[in-house]
Each structure stands twice: as C-alpha cells, then as structure tokens.
A and B are shown apart, each in its own frame.
Chain A
Amino acid sequence: EAQVTQNPRYLITVTGKKLTVTCSQNMNHEYMSWYRQDPGLGLRQIYYSMNVEVTDKGDVPEGYKVSRKEKRNFPLILESPSPNQTSLYFCASSLSLATGSLYNSPLHFGNGTRLTVT
C-alpha cells in the first residue's frame, strides 16, 4: 500500500532533549516536506526536499533540522526542543520528477505526530 509513515504518533518530551521524528514513503517520490499545524494558523511548512541531499527552508525552519540521505526517508530533528514547538507535525511526499509533470501528483500526507514539549 502506498503510504507515508511517521513515527511516533505521540511524543511527550522535556525542553532541551534532542528528538527525531521519522518519516518514510514507499512511493519513490522525490519531493518530501514537513509541516506543523497549530490552531488558527493552518499548515506551515518547515523544510522541504526536492531530492536526495537537497533540502531547503520553508516558512518556519527555526529550531528544526532535516536530512535526506535516502530518497524514502526524511527525518525531522529537534536539537533542543522548546515549548513553542509543541504542535501537530505532518510529513508529506509528492512527485516523481522523472514523470516530468506535476499534474496528478498531489501531496500524500502521513497521519501526523503530536509533539508536546514541557
């Protein structure tokens, strides 16, 4: 089954304790992205990656890191989490550049990771 898998689904941690949220897709997509969702603010993009070893900042990259060493994985790293990073996080993937077209290449989202930083 084609899917984007995030782990963990729920995470409670303390300020300053490094954590990683994993994201994996099995659709051979080049494009992957991380979003955070907060009440009243909709979905805001944190980082995105157009391909392996290519990453770029989104709207709200401060306090986050990502890596794209393999096509299928795009982990989100919080080196020193703070309470303002308490949020619902979504990973998404899309587009095989080899097809040459964006049409019919929507974003596929994971089920989310609810992070609480105390």
Chain B
Amino acid sequence: LAKTTQPISMDSYEGQEVNITCSHNNIATNDYITWYQQFPSQGPRFIIQGYKTKVTNEVASLFIPADRKSSTLSLPRVSLSDTAVYYCLVGDLLNNAGNMLTFGGGTRLMVKP
C-alpha cells in the first residue's frame, strides 16, 4: 500500500499558480494517482486522476515524473474559492482487491486576496 506525504499547509494569493506535491515512494505498478478537494463539512470531491506523464482538465493539471514516486497538482490562477484541503490518493481498486484506499493528511491551501 503506497503511503503518501504532502505538505501540511500552503498559502497563496489570488491569481497565482499553485503547485502541491505529493510523495509516494512505494507506488505499485498498477496504482493510479488521484487528487481530491475538500471544503469544510463537505465530502471530498474528485479533481483529477493520472497514471503517468501529464494530465490536464478544466480545473487542474497533474504532473507525474517517469519514476512515479511523486506527483504535482497544479492549480492555475487560484481564487479565494480554491481555499480547501487537497488530498492525494494512490491505489488500484481493480487489481488489488484486498487493498485499501487510504488518504494521507492532505494539504490545507489558503488563498488570500
């Protein structure tokens, strides 16, 4: 089971690009990397998922180096509403039926005006 390590918190200002890195040194061959966003008193919400290289959607980009031991969530031009906790999750439901999906501690992003 790949354990993840993220910075506890980060501060940014509106309009800036924010990069949050997650370390997962023990990632397995079949593991995917998924990022979630959580606002207070709400369930986490899917942002982006990837396996290798780069993935981009309308909300964020995900950069995964060749060794896959880390990943970086990139949020372009953040706004105040991006203030939330961001979780990196590594796992594979299909090929590891006995595996557990365990969240790390998350990164608390504070966006300031």
- Give A contacts to B, CB under 8 Å: 4, 31, 33, 35, 40-45, 48, 50, 56, 58-59, 88, 90, 92, 94-95, 97, 100-112, 114
A105-B93, A109-B44 are contacts. A42–B36 as well, Cβ < 8 Å?
no
Shortest beta-carbon distance from A37 to chain B in Å:
9
Q: Looking across the interface, which residue of chain B has its beta carbon closest to that of A105? A: B93
A-B contacts counted at CB < 8 A amount to 71
Q: Is the CB of B94 within 8 A of A112?
A: no
What B residues does A44 contact at CB under 8 A?
Answer: 102-103
What B residues does A104 contact at CB under 8 A?
Answer: 49
What A residues does B100 contact at CB under 8 A?
Answer: 45, 48, 56, 58-59
Residue of B45, B51, B97 near A103 (CB, 8 A) is B51
Chain B interfacial residues counted at CB < 8 A? 25
Q: Is the CB of B106 within 8 A of A112?
A: no
**B63 in the interface (beta carbon within 8 A):** no
Shortest beta-carbon distance from B6 to chain A in Å:
10
**B81 in the interface (beta carbon within 8 A):** no
- Name the interface residues of B22-70: CB closer than 8 Å to any CB of A: 32, 34, 36, 41-46, 49, 51
What B residues does A40 contact at CB under 8 A?
Answer: 105
Q: Looking across the interface, which residue of chain B has its beta carbon closest to that of A9? A: B41
Q: Is the CB of A94 within 8 A of B49?
A: no
